[in-house]
Each structure stands twice: as C-alpha cells, then as structure tokens.
Structure 1
Amino acid sequence: MGPCRGGTEATCPPPVWVAQVFGELEVALVAYVRGRLGGNLEGARDVVQEAFVRLCQQDWPEIEPHATAWLYRTCRNRAIDIQRREGRMSTLDSHTDLGSLQDRTARRPDEQMQQGEQLAQVRSRLEQLPDQQQELLRLRLHDGLSYKQIADVTGLTVGNVGYTLHQAISSLRVSLRTD
C-alpha cells in the first residue's frame, strides 16, 4: 500500500498544499484543542500534529474541498478520546482567546477598566453555558468556521448548529441583562 490510505503517491496531498493548510490552521487548531483539553498546550500540539499526519494519508482529491472541517473534526475526536481516557470534561477556559472581543480603541484608563470588567463578566457567563454551546460559540466566533463546517466537525445538522448558537447567544443576552 502506498503512503495514502488506499491510494498512490499521485493521490496523496501535495506537500506544498499541506504546508499551506498547516500554516493557515495550526495556531487556531492548537487553541481549539487546548481549550478542549483544559489548557494542556503540549497535548494540544500533539493532537494537531497527529491530525496533520493523518491528513497526509488521505486521498487528496477527496479531502481537499473540506480539509478545514476534516481537521477540526479529527482534532475534536482525538481530544474527546483523551478526555474520556483521562476522565475529565473541559469547559471554556481562560486560554481561549476571548481578548479579541475587547475593543482595543479605548484610551482612557476608566474605559479600559470598564471594558475589562465587562469582558470578565462575559467570560463568567460563557463558562456557565452547556459544553456544547461553549464549543459551538468557540468554533464560530473564535475559529471563524461556517455553520456547515461546524456541522461537519460536530456531526450536528446545519439547522441544529444555528439553533444551538441562537440559544447560546440568547442565554448570554438574558444573563448579561440581569446584572
């Protein structure tokens, strides 16, 4: 058997393409897996590296159009396996880059302090959401995946992804208004 699963050298992903995809997605995938693994950076890097090794074994013409979703799904499934093995569940943690939600244009210290308090409040509310809602929000807002890609990653339908995201955002709005 050749280097690709059931394929030949000609059907393997070209190294230039793999390098390009790696350059585009590595940081986001590591951050995503790190969040799922409770902040374990080395474990996240190992999972992402394993996913790219598996990508190199796929039939390129079939994998190329949906490589992003395939990589997220592969990383997600491996992270779930690790969580099960280690007997712990992950939640949205402080390693998730929610700092990007902060408006960096504020100049006055009182505005910066108020923004910091608001961001802390949003983080707190996010941590109270169910794990699935946290994950979908992370994939959509942090990683920028489309509903279709999120559906491919999680195994949900596109409609279910939209509904769950709507529920999560609605819950956040309500909980932030009650303060």
Structure 2
Amino acid sequence: MTETPPEETEKAILISDMLRVRDQRDRAAFARLFGHFAPRVKGFLIRAGSDPAVAEDCAQDVMVTVWNKAHLYDPARASVATWVFTIARNRRIDLARRDRRPEPEDLGWGPEPETAQEDGLVLQQESDRLGVALKGLPEAQRELIEKCYFGDLSHREIADVTGLPLGTIKSRIRLALDKLRHAMG
C-alpha cells in the first residue's frame, strides 16, 4: 500500500475546507483557510513590493473576498491556492492602479488657460467623433467603457458592481477600445 504524500493530503484538506465554506458557509473551515493563507498572501504581497502594513490590510481584504466569493470556487478549474493567490494578485494590481491615480491636490486648480479658437474647434470635432464612436459600440461594451473611464472604476470594482467575471470585463473593454481606436482613425 502506498502512502499519500503530505502535500496531496494538505491539498485535499484545503479543498474540503473550501467546499465547506462554499456550500455550508462553515466558519471553522474558513478559520483554517484564513490561518493557512493569510500569512502566505501577506508574504506574497511584501515580496511583490508592498509595504508590510498595506500587505496586512490587503491580505485581510483578500480573505474577506474568499469568504464573499466562495460560491464561485470550482475545484475542477483551479486548486484552492491558485484561486486565492489569483484574488491576491488581482487585488495587488487594483491597489497599484489606485496608487497611480493623482491625488486632488496634485491636480491643477484655477481657470483653464485660454485655447486658440482653432484648437477649440478641433477638440470639439474630436469629442463629437468620440461620441458617435461610443454610440456605435455594443451596449455591453459601451456601459463598461463608461464605468471605467467616466465612472473612474477599476476593473475589479466593475466586476463587483456588475457581477460579471473579471476576464469578461477586461475582454469587453479591450475590444471596445480597439473599436474606438479604429473609429477615431
């Protein structure tokens, strides 16, 4: 009789706990998952360049997402570790994007400088062309572009609002941007 390797036993326990969280909202199973993954996620984020305090907060947020999105876990598609670390990776990307946004005090205040009349006309024509191009997009793509660029939401925030998978959102936005680039020439 062959003995099951320890890493296979650990994987089986993690899957079992994740399924208990997914199917029964089992708090004890979640506590075990939290104890296993939270320090590993924090270490992953620190190695990726996050400040330790930010990594701690982000790890907590990732584990809350694991609890809230447990119904989406499918053991046939990914291991528990892959699923959790994908959430952590995406959250790290969201934080990096947020950190790159300018703070209000970094934005210029006061009246805009006067533009030449020709520049204003060109800008108006381009704005009109963009409006027409936006109206030409399929509704699903247009709504995502509006949420992303006019609503200033991250892809993750759009996924949370719409309930669509993150990959679908990214694909639709990428397709819409390609169509807009083509329409704008």
TM-score between both structures, scaled by the size of structure 1: 0.40
TM-score between both structures, scaled by the size of structure 2: 0.39
